[in-house]
Amino acid sequence: MIINTGGRTDTVQYYSTWLLKRFEEGFVLSRNPLFPNKVMRYSLNPDVVDCVVFCSKNYAPILSRLHEITDRFNTYFFYTITAYGKDIEPGVPSIDESMETLMMLSELVGKNRVAWRYDPVLLTKDYTIGVHEKTFSSMAKILSPYIDRCIFSFVEMYKKLEVNMRELIPLKTEDINALAEILSYHANENGIYLQTCGTNADYSRYGIHQSGCMTLEILGKANAIEFRHFKHKGMRTGCHCIESRDIGAYDSCPNGCKYCYANKSPQKAWNNYKSHDPSSPLLVGSLKDGDTIIEGNQISYLKSKEDECPSLF
């Protein structure tokens, strides 16, 4: 089973103490976002967790204690660094700070376990195609020795973006093609493996690879382990990733990114953050009367000796 720590919120940046405590105590609770009275319980034990996947925009808060997890578990790290400033990502460190932290993370865990996410790619009057080219090319030169690959996606026009991000300029086909060609050129120039995320669109004509960003092949190669052959069902339409269990919670990330899909509103996220209890097994809140705890079905994807050797009986 794959544990995902950052699909619903930036757990690393804002809840590192809680996260480390969960691994120390060996279990975590995760409330079902669709059925709130159902609470999943997952064991955080290397015997049942094949890999722990992180996704964050700031790993600085956890770097000094990250070994508490990496010493025991297979791991992989997605680091999101975009071209945007505080006007779009209020709670995110500057590009220079972020790149410095990524380099420190890479030196700790190895470049084979670090992927740079440059997404979502979007346009406004301030963040033009020219700005993307200048920023991405500069970042690619610096980050190329420290990353396994670069993953990008184009912004999805969620309905709430019409309210939360009125300055967003809808992407035209010619914009998408121009951006894909630019990103590919500068990735190739710096020896970076570039791939898409969360789409069935084909940009192979630009030398861009189409794949899930969290596949058993990627995780296995990064950790020198071998998985059994499983079909990657994906987490949503256009996704080609292996299924994982997210231990975070929606409406809890204070970063305030305008394009965010995981928060209904910045205020609700901030309120949940302020009420967070680091000692609770749940990221947000605590168990309530009427909650039902369900043991997670934690099946390993790892290839065992039994898989390699045919039965003699």
Dump pLDDT digits (tens) for 182-230. Answer: 999 999 999 999 999 877 789 999 999 987 788 999 999 999 999 988 7
The enclosing H or E element of 92 equals: none
Does 313 fall in a domain?
A: no
Q: For the whole prediction, is pTM greater than 0.85?
A: yes
Q: In the prediction, which pLDDT does 305 show?
A: 43
| Count of C-beta atoms within a 10 Å radius of residue 21 | 15
Does 268 fall in a domain?
A: yes
Could you tell me which of 118, 67, 58 has the C-alpha nearest to residue 90? 58
What's the average model confidence in pLDDT over 49-69? 98
CA distance 159 to 264: 11
On the question of pLDDT at 310 being above 50, the answer is no
Q: Where in the sequence is the domain holding 49, given as residue range(s)?
A: 2-308
Collapsing DSSP to helix, strand or coil, 271 comes out as: helix
First to last CA, the chain: 29
Q: In the prediction, which pLDDT does 79 show?
A: 98
Q: Is 3 exposed, middle or buried (0-12, 13-18, 19+ CB in 10 A)?
A: buried
Q: In the prediction, which pLDDT does 235 show?
A: 59
Does 287 fall in a domain?
A: yes
Asked if 196 contacts 239 with a C-beta cutoff of 8 angstroms, the reply is no
Collapsing DSSP to helix, strand or coil, 77 comes out as: strand
How many structural domains compose the chain? 1
Does 151 fall in a domain?
A: yes
What's the average model confidence in pLDDT over 83-106? 98
Q: In the prediction, which pLDDT does 292 show?
A: 97
On the question of pLDDT at 304 being above 80, the answer is no
On the question of pLDDT at 234 being above 60, the answer is no
Q: In the prediction, which pLDDT does 97 show?
A: 98
Residue pLDDT, tens place only, 144-189? 999 999 999 999 877 778 778 999 999 999 999 999 999 999 999 9
Q: Which of 26-40, 65-79, 236-250 has the lowest mean pLDDT?
A: 236-250
CA distance 10 to 81: 13
Does 111 fall in a domain?
A: yes
Does 40 fall in a domain?
A: yes
